[in-house]
Structure 1
Amino acid sequence: MSSSDSDSDLEHLIQLSDWDTNSSDDDSDRQRVSSRIIRRVNYMQTLDDAEFTFRFRLTKPAFQLLLTELIPFVRVTSKKNYGVSPLHQLLLTLRFYALGTMLISVADFVGVSKSTAGRIMRDMSRAIARLYDKYIFVHQEGAENFYRIAGFPRVLGAIDCTHIRIQSSCQTIGEEFRNRKGYFSLNVQAVCDAELMLMNVVARWPGSTHDATIFNNSILRAQCDAGDFGNRWLLGDSAYPNRSYLLTPLLNPVTEAEIRYNESHIKTRNTIERTFGVWKRRFPVVALTLRVSISNVHAIIIATAVLHNMCRNLNLQEIPPEVELPPADNIENSGAQNMVVLDMQHRSDLINNYFTGDRDQSKIGSDLGLWIRY
């Protein structure tokens, strides 16, 4: 093999010994398999920046950063064709996230079988998901940014659920995954900040599960009950019970103060809908129907959430999807209008003390200190 051939083959021979657990095989074994090496294109070299970003949803620098972070979790153990390099494993996985189609469509992309592509996608998705704690966490520094949206004070984050379509898992448990729109899904809960960064993602509940059930059984709810976030509020829709730390809109606002509260609440809470849109447009795999096992669906959802936050951290521009996406589903839970208001005092105090009357500029300034900083 010439040096130019080696360069075009991702230079994977350079680091092969670091990844191959069978590097002690003798020279005859290497000669026997060398004739069957599959030439794999180095898309980092053959595509320009715009084409690479469109195909793989990350810029080249972001891709290199991600690959570096994943190296401790990814290994090449197969001797056949010298295995698939970590670089190509990541390229295949990102291409699957970009297309959201069947695995066979990306298997040929790097010259592997469908079953190998499935294993690569599974292992790489789980490796990316291991970065969850680094990229997805609840912080309390966003209250002022939320306030700038519509004047709503002391907001910790906006919370809602979105449905990720899946293929029916099996006849025995399939129906619990059927949502109110009639298709199979996972109901995924997420919390975002004002910059459309995901702060919490729960991706393990079947599509028939009520939003409030997911929250009530979450670690986030336990943290809120324990007062971990001080006097900050989550903003949720009427599918959630109103609590001292989770404010919902009024179903029938009457007074001007109540109307102002609802308008501000809705505009501020809209950040979570925008976050879902940005996330699904960059990684269409979570907007289309996932035809993989439930455990792999979980990994893909968390992995793409991690990548979404990585893109936001790096200020990457939004890019259009390569495939046509279905219209967004805003599924209202059947019990939303009948949820018990568990804590009215905090919401009433906010409406009566903050949203009543005209607020001039000096009043807004004092409110910012009273209602956001304390």
Structure 2
Amino acid sequence: MVGIVTGTFGDDTAILASANDSSVASFKLQAGLGRMSKWLQRWRMKANETKSTHVTFTMRRDTCPEIKLVTAEFTNSHSIQQFPLDLQLAIVLYRLGSSGENAAIRKVATLFGVGDGETIYKIPRRVIRSILELQTKFITWPDVAERQDVVEKTYHEHPHCIGYIDGTEIKLAEAPVVNHTSYFSKNRVYSIKAQVVCDYQLKIRHVAVGHYGSAHDARMFRTSALCIQENSLFSSEQWLAGDSAYPLLKTLITPFRSNSQQLDYSKRKTFNLRHSRFRVRIEHRFGLLKERFGSLKELRIPSWLMAEFEPFLAILGDASGVVGLCTAERTTFGAELDDVLSADDSIK
């Protein structure tokens, strides 16, 4: 792990973590201890906590957060007491719904009365992972019958159009340590990309998250299931409406480009106006997402954490999918989420 040094002498082991901030150093040290605890459990060994000491070397007067050899915040196979599920979900929803200074780690930890070390990072990871286990049930691509129903209800708008597609940026508060240039987008910010499809009711039907901020919308589409599996996802003549950043395909219709020579100017203009009139629904969907979940405006993940948890970055970026889940069938979803969280003991 970046910033962690381990040394041994006889049967003693020392773990050294260094950082400019005491909280960061403590979090790194706790992460190292977590890994060591898993290794000890795997080999059926025990460490003597009473003989373990946490020593801080610093010229500052600030106090380091508490360090534990075995984290006791979550239920595991040894039935260690965890935080109430309502509290865990409240912390995650607050973080997802906050942006700027309101999303600061210490502020969130103080507000909910939890530790600002590993705990405040572990709770969102656990809850979001549990939510994503329900993703395929609540965010579904319409089947043949549902697609035909959509076509019939929107035929007067765009014949055979079944949805609207676009990409959006999720800005990162800090530049990633690893491969940071790939995250730098055309808007001159560090970000990750999300591609979303919604229907005429603004319901999210497909989400793809995790591309670098420099990725083009066309590239995201080419690598998504919408393009690779088009024969199983689209019936005859069905298509999505996208903007001019996407390629023109039989399953993806875009407006005429400014340099197009097809038809005459008035017909191109009429088509483009009608196309944008209904395609703007995906823009409305993005607006609703980012107003309700302010974290999508700026994702606050420390750069040193992204170096170790890049897959976790994609999971947090999937807040788009989390929003889609939280806004659909709330009663059923809430009950099933309680069951998943109660059964989840994978994070020790």
TM-score range, shorter chain: 0.5 to 0.7
Q: What SS is found at the alignment partner of 1:99?
A: coil
Q: Confirm whether residue 137 of structure 1 aligns to residue 140 of structure 2.
A: yes
Q: Confirm whether residue 237 of structure 1 aligns to residue 243 of structure 2.
A: yes
> How do 1:49-88 and structure 2 match up within 5 A?
76-77=75-76, 82-88=81-87
Consecutive unaligned residues of structure 1, counting only runs of 5 or more, are 1-73, 316-374
Aligned alpha-carbon RMSD (Å): 2.6
Distance 1:218 1:82 in 2: 41
After superposition, the Cα gap between the structure-2 partners of 1:79 and 1:131, relative to the gap in structure 1 and judged at 3 Å, is: same
- Contact 2:172/2:192 (8 A) holds in 1: yes
- Give the equivalent residue in structure 1 for 2:93: 94
Consecutive unaligned residues of structure 2, counting only runs of 5 or more, are 1-72, 332-348
- Give the equivalent residue in structure 2 for 1:38: none
- Give the equivalent residue in structure 2 for 1:288: 298
Q: What SS is found at the alignment partner of 1:238?
A: coil
- Contact 1:165/1:289 (8 A) holds in 2: yes
Distance 2:86 2:75 in 1: 11
Q: Confirm whether residue 205 of structure 1 aligns to residue 183 of structure 2.
A: no
Distance 1:172 1:302 in 2: 20
Moved more, 212-221 or 290-299: 290-299
Q: Confirm whether residue 183 of structure 1 aligns to residue 189 of structure 2.
A: yes
Q: Confirm whether residue 103 of structure 1 aligns to residue 116 of structure 2.
A: no
Distance 2:85 2:213 in 1: 34
% identical equivalent positions: 26
- Give the equivalent residue in structure 2 for 1:19: none
Letter in 1 for 2:96: Y
- Contact 2:75/2:82 (8 A) holds in 1: yes
Size of the aligned set, in residue pairs, is: 240
> How do 1:38-53 and structure 2 match up within 5 A?
none
- Give the equivalent residue in structure 1 for 2:49: none
Distance 1:246 1:281 in 2: 28
- Contact 1:290/1:297 (8 A) holds in 2: no
In the superposition, the TM-score normalised over structure 2's length comes to 0.63
In the superposition, the TM-score normalised over structure 1's length comes to 0.59
Query: Which of residues 214, 218, 221 is equivalent to 1:215?
Result: 221
Query: Which of residues 263, 279, 295 is equivalent to 2:273?
Result: 263
Q: What SS is found at the alignment partner of 1:201?
A: strand
- The alpha-carbon deviation at position 88 of structure 1 amounts to 1.1
> How do 1:1-374 and structure 2 match up within 5 A?
76-77=75-76, 82-100=81-99, 101-114=103-116, 115-139=118-142, 140=147, 141-147=149-155, 151-225=157-231, 228-252=234-258, 254-292=264-302, 293=306, 294-313=310-329
After superposition, the Cα gap between the structure-2 partners of 1:306 and 1:98, relative to the gap in structure 1 and judged at 3 Å, is: closer
Q: What SS is found at the alignment partner of 2:280?
A: helix
Letter in 2 for 1:283: F
After superposition, the Cα gap between the structure-2 partners of 1:307 and 1:188, relative to the gap in structure 1 and judged at 3 Å, is: closer
- Contact 1:126/1:303 (8 A) holds in 2: no
After superposition, the Cα gap between the structure-2 partners of 1:268 and 1:314, relative to the gap in structure 1 and judged at 3 Å, is: farther
Distance 1:310 1:121 in 2: 15
Distance 1:223 1:302 in 2: 21
Letter in 2 for 1:142: V
